[in-house]
Amino acid sequence: MKTNQVMIRQMGVFQVEQRTKDGFFDGASLLRQWNGVDGNPRRRMSEFLESPKVKYFMDALAEDESHRRKTDIAVNQLLTASKGKLTKNGRTPDKMWFNPILFIKFAMWINPRFEVQVIRFVYDRMIEFRNEAGDAYKELASAVQKIVQPNFMKVAMKKVGEALNWIIFNRHEKALRNKHGDEKQMQSLFDLERETAMLINKGFIKDFKSLVTYLRDEYKRRNTPSVFLPENIKEAIA
């Protein structure tokens, strides 16, 4: 499931924005944060883009992407700029969306000390799991539809969505999965949705009450410190 959401992710002390649709990163946001730290040498986007080495790299990347995708990819498709919009709260920031591989080079140009962290950061599978979790959520909704009345379906899925957030993130807010998370959390969300749908489809969860009980038990199992589990409390006071 590929919707054009923007994921806020942590990269060291900075937050970076990544589109889930194509994996592109907002380099302008990272640059603003870097330049906003006292003592950091000031960097300019134009210095990066006008560098002969960067231009050569972008040509090579466009050629490689074309071979990999089996369709022509132009250099200007690796980097897209969008102007901020005027809103009642002021003008939104300008964006500069980088192809993920180009973003690695950009981030390391800003600060070579990022090298290892940036490579690990960009190549985790969080976006992949996030999209898969979206597909699994549809499967879960189809399964829930089998055990609730049609007029209760909207309420049921709202409650299920809240429960999933509490189980995986230990909190709830609207569109939480699109705002924060990491690879492990996205994989856990995907696994939980698929597992729950399977239990419904196989008849182990027969109604909404038993679904709520199952999700409540999952929350306790995943988020209750082991020292407070009943069996450990018995051992502690024995």
From first to last of its 238 residues, the chain has per-residue pLDDT tens of: 455 678 888 787 888 898 878 889 999 999 999 999 999 999 999 999 999 999 999 999 999 999 888 889 999 999 999 888 888 778 888 999 999 889 989 998 998 777 777 777 766 655 666 666 677 888 899 999 999 999 999 999 999 988 988 888 887 777 655 555 566 777 788 888 889 999 999 899 999 999 999 999 999 888 876 544 444 433 433 3
Compute CA 68 distance to the chain's CA centroid, rounded to the nearest angstrom. 24
Q: At what angle do helices 27-35 and 100-110 cross, to 10 degrees?
A: 10
Residues in contact with 136: Cβ distance below 8 Å, sequence separation at least 6, in sequence order: 189, 190, 193, 194, 197
Identify the pLDDT of residue 96. 94
Cα distance between residue 139 and residue 152, in whole Å: 18
The answer to whether 154 and 142 are in contact (CB under 8 A) is no
Q: Which residue has the tokens 């302008």?
A: 28
SS3 148: coil
Identify the pLDDT of residue 130. 65
